[in-house]
């Protein structure tokens, strides 16, 4: 059992709350840094993929998990980032600048979407973003002179200071550094005034407004930041895939991202990482074990869809806080060891609130 005595405001907002945090996150970092020296290219690629999806998940988490706005079109930002990156790197722009530009372009598109989206909420916002996602996908298909249309667009290998960074190992390093930077950015954002404003808007728009938070300003900001972060993920995704085509950024990918944040745990940054691990590991596990299943089930083309759906429904019904929520319960159990009680972290009973009368 650990007791935390906070004697100053700095202690309250410190990122590493106690020595345990320092130790475990330090160990995680050490393992991630050691990975390229011990693991093969296959595992490195998978880990890069997890981190890329985690960045995209972080972006959507900021919007949906922390600001309470739903988006069913986030794959579009992934696409905008990926194509910007591919085109700029293809034109000879150095890699970091291209990634920055991908974030900026994606963020700018986010502002454009965010502005009309401010007037609508709930299901209307979901459909507006869905519509936006479809339109962007169609633009990627039709604007053939730039995007290559359905034929696809090959992506150049990134280069830094004249060195060409090809292969799984350099890409892994790039992705790792960007992931750490984005995570730190979000951690700091969420403990700043802006982040608190986002959370206040999520919890109650009316109270946030009464506290002097400009809804329009902060919602647009959240949309732009979220889009920029997903754009960064898109830029990395372009290098990971080395070949882009519009169907990689369709509505199903947007829904994958939503599944990622819900299964990982809505409203926690850890959740984005857990969700990304789930999303990347599940197809691999299924293809590894489907020989054990009856042929009709194992060979069905929809088995992955079925598993995603079943896990999603199970998580929402039985563990609304997602994987991170389950982990928190297990941790609390051991921290309090003999005195943990079953209902301690149970969510409050809620009653249906009409969203029409807002």
Partner 1 sequence: MLQVVLSGLALGCIYALIALGFTLVYKATETVNFAQGDFMMLGAMVTVVLTVWLDFPIWAAVILAVVGMTGFGALLERLAIRPVLGQPQFTVIMLTIGLGYILRGGVTMLPTIGTRTNVVAMPYQGQVWTFGSVAISVEQVMIVVMTLLLCGALFVLFRFTKLGIAMQATSQNQIAAYYMGIPVKRLNAIVWGLSIGMATIAGILLAPITFAHANMGFIALKAFPAAIIGGFGSLPGAVLGGLIIGLVEALAGFYLPEGYKDVAPYVVVLIVLVVRPTGILGERLGKKV
Of 212 and 301, which has the nearer Cβ to partner 1?
Answer: 301
Of 12 and 138, which has the nearer Cβ to partner 1?
Answer: 138
Of 302 and 338, which has the nearer Cβ to partner 1?
Answer: 302
CB 192 within 8 A of CB 122: no
Residues 240, 245, 251, 252: is their CA dihedral positive or negative?
A: negative
Mapped onto helix, strand or coil, the DSSP state of residue 28 is: helix
**Among 26, 96, 116, 167, which residue interacts with partner 1 (rule: CB under 8 A)?**
116
**Among 25, 124, 243, 289, which residue interacts with partner 1 (rule: CB under 8 A)?**
124
Q: How far apart are CA 345 and CA 104, in angstroms?
A: 40
Q: How far apart are CA 158 and CA 148, in angstroms?
A: 20
175 is a site residue for partner 1 (CB under 8 A): no
Least distance between partner 1 and beta carbon 37 (Å): 39
**Among 1, 163, 291, 317, which residue interacts with partner 1 (rule: CB under 8 A)?**
317
Closest CA to 331 of 57, 50, 30, 20: 20
Q: How far apart are CA 37 and CA 169, in angstroms?
A: 9
DSSP 8-class letter at 164: E
Number of residues that bind partner 1 (CB under 8 A): 56
CA 243 to chain centre: 21
324 is a site residue for partner 1 (CB under 8 A): no
Rounded alpha-carbon distances, angstroms, from residue 203 to 67, 174, 200, 212? 8, 36, 5, 15
178 is a site residue for partner 1 (CB under 8 A): no
Q: How far apart are CA 316 and CA 320, in angstroms?
A: 5
Question: Which range of residues in 83-91, 161-169, 185-193, 314-322 is near partner 1 by CB under 8 A?
Answer: 314-322
CB 48 within 8 A of CB 170: no
164 is a site residue for partner 1 (CB under 8 A): no
**Among 312, 319, 340, 345, which residue interacts with partner 1 (rule: CB under 8 A)?**
312
346 is a site residue for partner 1 (CB under 8 A): no
Burial of 84 (0-12, 13-18, 19+ CB in 10 A): buried
Q: How far apart are CA 340 and CA 243, in angstroms?
A: 51
215 is a site residue for partner 1 (CB under 8 A): no
320 is a site residue for partner 1 (CB under 8 A): yes
Least distance between partner 1 and beta carbon 137 (Å): 9
Binding to partner 1, residues 193-212 (CB under 8 A): 206
Binding to partner 1, residues 240-299 (CB under 8 A): 251, 255, 258-259, 262, 266, 296-297
Give the footprint of partner 1 on this chain (CB under 8 A).
64, 68, 70, 116, 119-120, 122-124, 126-128, 130-132, 134-135, 138, 141-142, 206, 251, 255, 258-259, 262, 266, 296-297, 300-313, 316-317, 320, 349-358
């Amino acid at each position: 059992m650990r007791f935390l005595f906070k004697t100053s405001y700095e202690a309250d907002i410190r990122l590493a709350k106690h020595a345990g945090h320092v130790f475990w996150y330090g160990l995680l970092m050490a393992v991630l840094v050691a990975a390229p020296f011990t693991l093969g290219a296959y595992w490195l690629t998978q880990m890069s993929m997890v981190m890329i999806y985690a960045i995209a998940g972080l972006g959507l988490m900021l919007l949906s998990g922390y600001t309470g706005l739903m988006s069913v079109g986030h794959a579009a930002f992934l696409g905008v980032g990926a194509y910007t990156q591919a085109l700029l790197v293809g034109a000879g722009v150095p890699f970091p600048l291209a990634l920055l530009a991908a974030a900026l372009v994606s963020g700018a598109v986010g502002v454009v979407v965010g502005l009309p989206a401010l007037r609508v909420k709930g299901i209307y916002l979901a459909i507006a973003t869905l519509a936006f996602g479809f339109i962007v996908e169609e633009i990627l298909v039709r604007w053939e002179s730039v995007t290559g249309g359905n034929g696809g667009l090959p992506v150049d290998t990134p280069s830094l200071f004249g060195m060409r960074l090809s292969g799984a190992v350099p890409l892994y390093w790039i992705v790792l550094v960007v992931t750490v930077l984005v995570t730190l950015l979000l951690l700091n954002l969420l403990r700043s005034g802006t982040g608190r404003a986002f959370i206040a808007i999520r919890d109650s728009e009316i109270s946030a407004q009464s506290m002097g938070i400009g809804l329009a300003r902060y919602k647009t900001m959240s949309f732009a930041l979220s889009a920029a972060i997903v754009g960064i993920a898109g830029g990395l995704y372009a290098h990971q895939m080395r070949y882009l085509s519009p169907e990689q950024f369709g509505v199903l990918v947007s829904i994958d991202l939503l599944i990622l944040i819900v299964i990982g745990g809505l409203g926690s940054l850890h959740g984005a990482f857990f969700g990304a691990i789930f999303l990347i590991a599940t197809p691999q596990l299924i293809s590894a074990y489907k020989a054990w299943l009856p042929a009709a089930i194992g060979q069905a083309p929809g088995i992955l869809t079925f598993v995603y759906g079943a896990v999603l429904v199970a998580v929402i019904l039985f563990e609304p806080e997602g994987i991170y929520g389950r982990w928190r319960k297990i941790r609390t159990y051991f921290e309090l060891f003999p005195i943990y009680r079953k209902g301690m972290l149970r969510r409050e009973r809620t009653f249906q609130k009409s969203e029409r009368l807002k």
